[in-house]
Structure 1
Amino acid sequence: MTRAGSSTVTLLPTAIVGSLPKPSWLAEPETLWSPWKLQGDALIEGKQDALRIAVQEQGRRGIDIVSDGEQSRQHFVTTFIEHLTGVDFDQRETIRIRDRYDASVPTVVGAVSREKSVFVEDARFLRQQTDQPIKWALPGPMTMIDTLSDRHYRSREKLAWEFATILNQEARELEAAGVDIIQFDEPAFNVFFDEVQDWGVAALERAAEGLRAETVVHICYGYGIKANTDWKATLGSEWRQYEKTFPLLQRSSIDIVSLESHHSHVPLELIELIRGKKVMLGAIDVASDEIETPEEVADTLRNALQFVDADKLVPSTNCGMAPLSREVALGKLSALSAGAEILRTEIATART
């Protein structure tokens, strides 16, 4: 992985997928959608302080591709949507999200549009904090529509295409702000397979259209919360959902595919279906408080090398870590980087 203008390439560059726990003075710990504890200018300052801490901790723990840890947003989807016109957050309905759990969500009441950038100022601030490559995550079009009640378009596909255009506007501005890698989060790709084939991948490519920055699609089995762990328990001894989407993504314009692996029941051979793409492999379990050993991480990565070349492997976390304690999350980051270093040493030794 390189920074623009840099010739340095790190083998097995480490990254986190999305969120890190927020400081307790900013939001309630280990809680999704936690309300802010600050207001006004103090909240702006608090978010920047938290982002700065997240960058420093990633540096201390040996993470190569730095992100914001989603310190300035309450949720990976709704924080983006709440900045758009056409969505009423006061008019709420309870819907089934990803065919898994019920949630009260805002309603699309008119044409959706983006009047100004959402995350660009935060991304500029992140860029100022580090010389490392930086990655920014955005919700994918299909996951956005699955987190809303639609009373205007009354078509999941039409709304997804509108969001894809909006996301592309935001992504282009993030790239101009110095973001090296733009990630689109699409957990809905693990559920709505017919839609993924019919228009989901095409809408994702529209969101990434024209970008020079590397692009990632992240498809996981969700945060380590009860609704997700209960769902996983119904999936049997093998989780083969990726088998439906990987062949489509292998033919797509997306550069990197991010998937869940460690402590999952995903057969590693499914990675062969995206041969030629970079693979951001989840080597850290976000549904457990147990901190992996570096050797466990190295084992996960080593096994994956049967199906992906080392120069295309990006060790990562399975998903975001907002529901974990800060102590556990930071310990897992250290394990991730230490495990990657074990494998780097092995590869270097084998090549000499």
Structure 2
Amino acid sequence: MPVPTTTIGAYPKPDYVPLRGWHEAKPEDEQGRHPSDPTRPLRERGRIDAEDEQRLLDRATHEVVGEQATLGIDVPTDGEVRREHYVFYHLRHLHGIDFDSLEERQLRQGGWTAYVPVVRGPVQAGARFLRHDWHSAQQATDRPVKITVPGPLTIAGTIANDHYADERELCAALGDALNQELRDLAAAGCPWIQVDEPLFARHPDKAAEFGVDNLARTLHRLPEETRTAVHVCCGYPAELDQADYPKADPGAYDQLAEPLDLAPVDAVSLEDAHRPADLRLLERFARTTVILGCVDVARSRVEDPDEIAGRLRRALEHIDPHRLMAAPDCGLALMPRKLARDKLRALVQGARAV
């Protein structure tokens, strides 16, 4: 029986998309700001009519969703075409976040420094926006399209807080605001919703203490027919084939397995291609589906489908067949388009051979 496949989030943007990603920025702009300044992609998208921009974004979304489906991905994502950054895109739709007076912060346990938006007041949901994103993507295929959102702990670790007493209080407010958006998205008919929480792997203690509770807050009262997932990868490089970059502790998944299996979520997405785990880890997921990373998003080498099939067969020695899916480790944004296609083609061939 073939193992179902999905993608995790970002997909390489077509060249005509006016809003580029954070990783495509030049090293410094005229003010000497870091490329992670979240206002830069918005300022650099050029002069274009808003309606024309939306038409281009819809066109690009249809293109990348259709491409994933043509390659055989069972549950494609919208490719995050509309996003300059997987966190900041969502923050632009919340009240209480200041994008005008940025502050410099060290992120990911000192991995790099960036200019980030600041929480200046109560965080509240703004006008709904994901419903449109999903409708645009779903029109490209009859396969169920997944929409992703950053989770509260990951958002809190990517911005500055000048309003709430502590991180726990901020995360609770973020969870409530995200939940309003996700309930509207589910009501529109979106079949798959994924919450991205890579900081769970960086801070498994915080994840266990209050992160999983706020994941539940984020997904509260979604309809039973809406499939939900949480994505927990171990770190993203600054560029493809970077020799060394800071990753989460390899023991983090062991600490997270039980809390995540007890969380009100249908699936847990884990990185495994770049840094393979002891597959006995899967035995600790007694209830949830595991979306296993089988494609390395940090390296340009294209995986052999037979290698992927072999890894999945070994995984099936530790988990029920109906609770295993295959995916890339994370989003594919760093890759040239052809490389992303080649890797997904290998993923599908390997998963279908099992």
Normalising by structure 1, report the TM-score. Answer: 0.89
Q: Which of the numbers 61, 83, 86 marks the counterpart of 2:93?
A: 83
Partner of residue 133, structure 1: 144
Tell me, yes or no, if structure 1 residue 174 matches structure 2 residue 185: yes
Residue pairs, 1:194-213, within 5 angstroms: 194-211=205-222, 212=224, 213=226
Shift, 1:339, TM fit: 0.6
Tell me, yes or no, if structure 1 residue 219 matches structure 2 residue 232: yes
Q: Is the 8 A contact 1:136 1:181 kept in 2?
A: yes
* CA distance in 1 between partners of 2:134 and 2:289 (Å): 24
Shift, 1:31, TM fit: 5.7
Shift, 1:267, TM fit: 2.1
* CA distance in 2 between partners of 1:115 and 1:43 (Å): 21
User: Which whole-Å deviations, capped at 9, do the CAs of 1:17-51 have from their partners, x for residues lacking one?
Assistant: 11001012215878626523563222111111110
Q: Is the 8 A contact 1:205 1:253 kept in 2?
A: yes
Q: Which of the numbers 72, 77, 86 marks the counterpart of 1:62?
A: 72
Shift, 1:263, TM fit: 3.0
Normalising by structure 2, report the TM-score. Answer: 0.88
Q: Is the 8 A contact 1:224 1:288 kept in 2?
A: no
Partner of residue 5, structure 1: none
* CA distance in 2 between partners of 1:129 and 1:157 (Å): 39
Q: Relative to 1, partners in 2 of residues 1:86 and 1:30: Cα closer, same or farther, differing over 3 Å?
A: closer
Q: Which of the numbers 290, 295, 302 marks the counterpart of 1:291?
A: 302
Deviation larger for 27-36 or 51-60: 27-36
Q: Relative to 1, partners in 2 of residues 1:297 and 1:224: Cα closer, same or farther, differing over 3 Å?
A: farther
Q: Which of the numbers 222, 243, 246 marks the counterpart of 1:231?
A: 246
User: Gaps spanning 5+ residues in structure 2: where?
Assistant: 26-40
Shift, 1:97, TM fit: 1.6
SS at match of 1:168: helix
Partner of residue 156, structure 2: 145
Letter in 2 for 1:283: C
Shift, 1:223, TM fit: 2.5
Q: Is the 8 A contact 1:223 1:321 kept in 2?
A: no
Residue pairs, 1:1-352, within 5 angstroms: 11-26=2-17, 32=23, 34=25, 35=41, 36=45, 39=48, 40-99=50-109, 100-211=111-222, 212=224, 213-225=226-238, 229-232=244-247, 239-343=250-354
Letter in 2 for 1:148: I
User: Gaps spanning 5+ residues in structure 1: where?
Assistant: 1-9, 344-352
Letter in 1 for 2:13: K
* CA distance in 2 between partners of 1:30 and 1:229 (Å): 22
Letter in 2 for 1:85: H
Q: Is the 8 A contact 1:257 1:277 kept in 2?
A: yes
User: Which whole-Å deviations, capped at 9, do the CAs of 1:150-203 have from their partners, x for residues lacking one?
Assistant: 001131111100110111111111112221111000000011122111111000
* CA distance in 2 between partners of 1:53 and 1:273 (Å): 38
Q: Is the 8 A contact 1:286 1:319 kept in 2?
A: yes
Could you say what the CA RMSD is over the residues aligned between the two structures, in angstroms? 1.9
Q: Relative to 1, partners in 2 of residues 1:106 and 1:289: Cα closer, same or farther, differing over 3 Å?
A: same
Between the aligned residues of both structures, percent identity stands at: 35
* CA distance in 2 between partners of 1:109 and 1:200 (Å): 22
